[in-house]
Structure 1
Amino acid sequence: MSAAARATAPAVRLGLLGCADIALRKVLPAVARTPGITLTAVASRSAAKAARVAADTGAEPVRDYPALLARPDIDAVYVPLPAALHTEWTERALRAGKHVLAEKPLTPDATETARLVELARSRGLVLAENFMFVHHPQHRCVQVLLAGGAVGEPRVLNATFTIPPRPEGDIRYRPDLGGGALLDVGVYPLRAAQLLLGPGLDVLGADLRTDPERGVDVAGSALLRGPGGATAHLTFGMDHYYTSRYEVLGSAGRLRLDHAFTPPADHRPVITIERQGGVERLELEPFDQVTAAVRAFVTSIGSGAGPDAGAAITRQAELVADVRRAARAPLPPHRGDPTTQLLSTP
């Protein structure tokens, strides 16, 4: 769609399914900054919370999720619910004819993910998995540098995303809601490996450390091999010092990027390249990746093609399943009862 056509097209009318923290802190402010989309309605398991968020955003509070999906004045929905609830409400939204932007991971199960991708395709709807970091131009800059031989032939990708322990009661510690380090933070280095080494990755081995009291994995690592023979060493966890970086070791140098996955909008990225002749630091302009993700969703609705086009979403889910299989870890418990889901949903 041309810029002129976008300027005259009606705004995408967005519904919010659940008042999760990421929605309130990041995505809804980005929606307010993005032309071509407006928050129309808000649903939450708490009527009071829906009313507060609606009052703050100029939207209309709705009594529950089914009521929001039944509204004809909603074109798309944003699903920031716990991971175990994504399958149910993403499918309901698609069957109601709504485009969907869902927080990562789209679902905890590769088979369900593939089924939802196909359902969206068959109905001509956009289904996007909200990996915001892939929209940041710092990664495109890294891709260009690597393709241009900045470090010679890439041999190894080391990617790490770790966060400190969460407060007790946090949903990341609830196996019934799809908690655990792999689904919360491990998916980031896995997605980065796809971005930098290509889609043809194989999982060679993995380990997940489970907290026996909580019943979820709190740390893990994985070893993957790319189609060209390069390997990816991935580390993730939520029992660590905060780290968000990757580096590529090549035959002639090393490239490093800090603040790789969740940089604030005012952060100035620095790509460091070390070679035998010295060290080069490339400083980039600040960039708001959250607003860019919302903008990509709006653009994809206008053009009729999802920003991930299904393939990356499906392959990401397969890699998560492969890591779990290599670590001999079971799938999280399945939550298929929508009534129970409503009682547990933010």
Structure 2
Amino acid sequence: MTAPLRIGVMGCADIARRRMLPAFARAARTEVVAIASRELARARELAAVHGCRAVRGYEALLTDEEVEAVYVPLPAALHAEWTEAALLAGKHVLVEKPVSLRRETTGRLVELATSRRLALMENVMFVHHGRHAAVRKLLAEEAIGELRGFEAHFTVPRRPEDDIRRQPELGGGALWDTGVYPLRAARYFLGPGLRVIGASLVRSRGHRVESAGTALLAAPEGTGIHVSFGLDHAYRSSYALWGTGGSIAVDRAFTPAADHRPVIRLADGTGVRDVFVPAEDQAHNTVGAFAAAARAGGAADGVCLEQARLLDDVRAAASLHG
């Protein structure tokens, strides 16, 4: 049996505490061996919960010979710096989205990982949930005929003023936080080569970054795409596909709880029915996929580079209001 991939966690972010550390612990393929923080007391408090070592400073984590791979849940503006440092130290990297704030930087990191045969994965977890593969299967079977349109939305309520998502110097803003999800969903279902036609970003009163956005895109064959995202809204997490013979709708699409039993609403020529699929822990699935990529000799996730292009193109096309 292959030994578990030994993980070092860079920082004590909320997503590490809530989702990823429990997922690493449950997965047979991974083992958390160290947690690093600039404040040793914080690392010790979290490490005690998970039965691993506490390390002062991120640099010390990268020189730790026991650590084979690093999880990077730092603010977005720090992703590129510490992902590059980890790759240069010979560590596989699972990094929170986005990999970096510029497509050129993401491209350079993908090339670095590839040249060193190291796994580099962007932590977009929903793509590892089986519900979306089930939707793909329905599309392949032409359950709704030929695809004609796609829309996706991910919005969340306002965070406190000191939240990193609201701080421009830390890479905050709706596009890089919630915009990743609908754009990745569009890529997941419509494939590569998506083109941004137009976009708009909005900065609500009291925000120093964009708090909302919307974009129109087109697939190479012309299928229309509408996405929206935001940090100052009622919660919404959904996508829908329309075809020549019906539609598919999915709610609670991007961040379902592990025990949530997913539903796919299918409307076709016979009426409307709910297709139920098994509950899954997408965080557990994600860490399993990361460990498998590392043990297979390392591979950079090429989709993250295309994702970086789409994020750049949306920002370039957008007019900013507010």
TM-score by length of 1: 0.90
| d(CA) in 2 for partners of 1:113, 1:211 | 29
Q: Please state how far the C-alpha of 1:286 moved relative to its aligned partner.
A: 0.5
- 1:324 aligned partner, one-letter code: R
Partner of 2:103: 110
Partner of 2:228: 235
| d(CA) in 1 for partners of 2:182, 2:216 | 11
| d(CA) in 2 for partners of 1:36, 1:182 | 33
Q: Map 1:184-199; keep pairs closer than 5 Å.
A: 184-199=177-192
Q: Please state how far the C-alpha of 1:205 moved relative to its aligned partner.
A: 0.5
Residue 23 of structure 2, aligned match among 13, 25, 30: 30
Deviations 1:215-268 (A, max 9, x none): 200000000101221111001101111010000011111110111100101111
Matched, 1:322 2:316: no
Partner of 2:198: 205
- 2:316 aligned partner, one-letter code: R
| d(CA) in 2 for partners of 1:210, 1:326 | 16
Partner of 2:167: 174
| d(CA) in 1 for partners of 2:232, 2:134 | 31
Which deviates the most, 295-304 or 93-102? Answer: 295-304
Q: Map 1:174-323; keep pairs closer than 5 Å.
A: 174-211=167-204, 213-306=206-299, 309-323=300-314
| d(CA) in 2 for partners of 1:266, 1:46 | 34
- 1:156 aligned partner, one-letter code: G
In structure 2, runs of 5+ residues without a counterpart are none
Partner of 1:49: 42
Q: Map 1:53-92; keep pairs closer than 5 Å.
A: 53-92=46-85
Residue 3 of structure 2, aligned match among 10, 13, 23: 10
User: SS of 2:135's equivalent?
Assistant: helix
| d(CA) in 1 for partners of 2:29, 2:286 | 13
Q: Map 1:329-340; keep pairs closer than 5 Å.
A: none
Partner of 1:3: none
User: SS of 1:108's equivalent?
Assistant: coil
Name the count of aligned residue pairs: 320
Deviations 1:172-207 (A, max 9, x none): 000000000000001100000000011110000000
- 1:319 aligned partner, one-letter code: L
Deviations 1:318-344 (A, max 9, x none): 000000000056xxxxxxxxxxxxxxx
| d(CA) in 1 for partners of 2:102, 2:269 | 45
- 1:184 aligned partner, one-letter code: D
Q: Please state how far the C-alpha of 1:274 moved relative to its aligned partner.
A: 1.1
Contact 2:83/2:95 (<8 A) preserved: yes
Q: Please state how far the C-alpha of 1:169 moved relative to its aligned partner.
A: 0.8
| d(CA) in 2 for partners of 1:245, 1:182 | 17
User: SS of 1:190's equivalent?
Assistant: helix
- 1:155 aligned partner, one-letter code: R
Q: Please state how far the C-alpha of 1:280 moved relative to its aligned partner.
A: 1.8
Identity of aligned residues (%): 51
Partner of 1:161: 154
Deviations 1:285-340 (A, max 9, x none): 1111000000001111111243xx432010000000000000056xxxxxxxxxxx
In structure 1, runs of 5+ residues without a counterpart are 1-6, 330-346
Q: Please state how far the C-alpha of 1:11 moved relative to its aligned partner.
A: 2.0
Contact 2:263/2:274 (<8 A) preserved: yes
